[in-house]
Chains A and B, each alone.
Chain A
Amino acid sequence: NAGVMQNPRHLVRRRGQEARLRCSPMKGHSHVYWYRQLPEEGLKFMVYLQKENIIDESGMPKERFSAEFPKEGPSILRIQQVVRGDSAAYFCASSPLQAARANVLTFGAGSRLTVL
């Protein structure tokens, strides 16, 4: 049973380009969370999604960032017109639907974005 799979593990973009980060949750998990970790800083919540539904996007910057979790396929975090300040590690985590309050999040290994 594969864990949470994130790709790419490392992504380099020039300013103004687009970055797409993908996350495949654990089998049977229907909740996906995205977090951003800036160098030497903690984890910042970005967005919480279920299939085809954004539950909470209160941590997403208002511009250039979007996320989706379609009925089929992985969850996508999209960053348009990247800037140097977007350089960070982006972590995805998933959890199953039931017994949500006791749920453990299972994390992927992260995608490290570098903006030149």
Chain B
Amino acid sequence: GDSVTQMEGPVTLSEEAFLTINCTYTATGYPSLFWYVQYPGEGLQLLLKATKADDKGSNKGFEATYRKETTSFHLEKGSVQVSDSAVYFCALMGDNNDMRFGAGTRLTVKP
């Protein structure tokens, strides 16, 4: 079945460092891809999404490009802030409307 594999972490960076969190997927058909973020004690919030190949999702300085040839949707940010500390989840929604999440990557940004 459809699945998502992401870099597990944890990841610790200094403020203003460059962030990459890798995500690859396995799916039949043409899935939509998402990144969600979970702040401590809260539910998940959508960060960005892409619904077809070569689409780039972006929000709050984060970006991810839907790469069909490498089945990837890596999350990047050029300069992280302490407030970006959270758990990041890569997710896929396939043709059957099931949403599947990766294991999550905990990011800690130190001042």
In the assembled complex, the CB of A109 is this many whole angstroms from the nearest CB of chain B, namely 5
The distance from the CB of B56 to the nearest CB of chain A, in whole angstroms, is 15
Q: Are B101 and A109 within 8 A (Cβ)?
A: no
A11 within 8 A of B: no
Interface residues on A, range: 20 to 34
CB distance from B53 to the nearest CB of A (A): 14
Whether the Cβ atoms of A100 and B103 lie closer than 8 Å is no
User: Residue A63 at the B interface, CB < 8 A?
Assistant: no
A101 x B100 contact (CB < 8 A): no
Chain A residue at minimal CB-CB distance from B34: A104
- Of the candidates B36, B49, B89, B97, which one forms a contact with A48 in the assembled complex, judged by CB atoms under 8 Å apart? B97
A-B pair count, CB < 8 Å, reads 64
B51-A101 in contact (CB<8A): yes
Query: A91 at interface (Cβ–Cβ under 8 A)?
Result: yes
Are B99 and A105 in contact, with the CB atoms below 8 A?
yes
B interface, how many residues as a size bin? Answer: 20 to 34
A100-B44 contact in complex given A42-B89, A43-B89, A43-B104, C-beta closer than 8 Å = no
Task: Tell me which residues across on chain A come within 8 A of B93, comparing CB atoms.
Answer: 100-101, 103
Q: Is the CB of B102 within 8 A of A42?
A: yes
Chain A to chain B contacts (Cβ below 8 Å), 24 pairs? A33-B99, A35-B101, A42-B89, A42-B101, A42-B104, A43-B101, A48-B98, A48-B99, A56-B98, A58-B1, A91-B43, A100-B97, A101-B93, A101-B94, A101-B95, A102-B32, A102-B49, A103-B32, A104-B34, A104-B49, A105-B99, A107-B36, A107-B45, A109-B43
Q: What is the interface of chain B, defined by CB distance below 8 A to chain A?
A: 1, 30-32, 34, 36, 42-46, 49, 51, 89, 93-104
Residues of A within 8 A of B (CB): 4, 31, 33, 35, 41-43, 45, 48, 55-56, 58, 91, 93, 95, 100-105, 107-110
The 8 closest A-B pairs by CB, nearest first: A42-B103, A107-B43, A42-B104, A43-B101, A100-B97, A107-B44, A109-B43, A102-B51
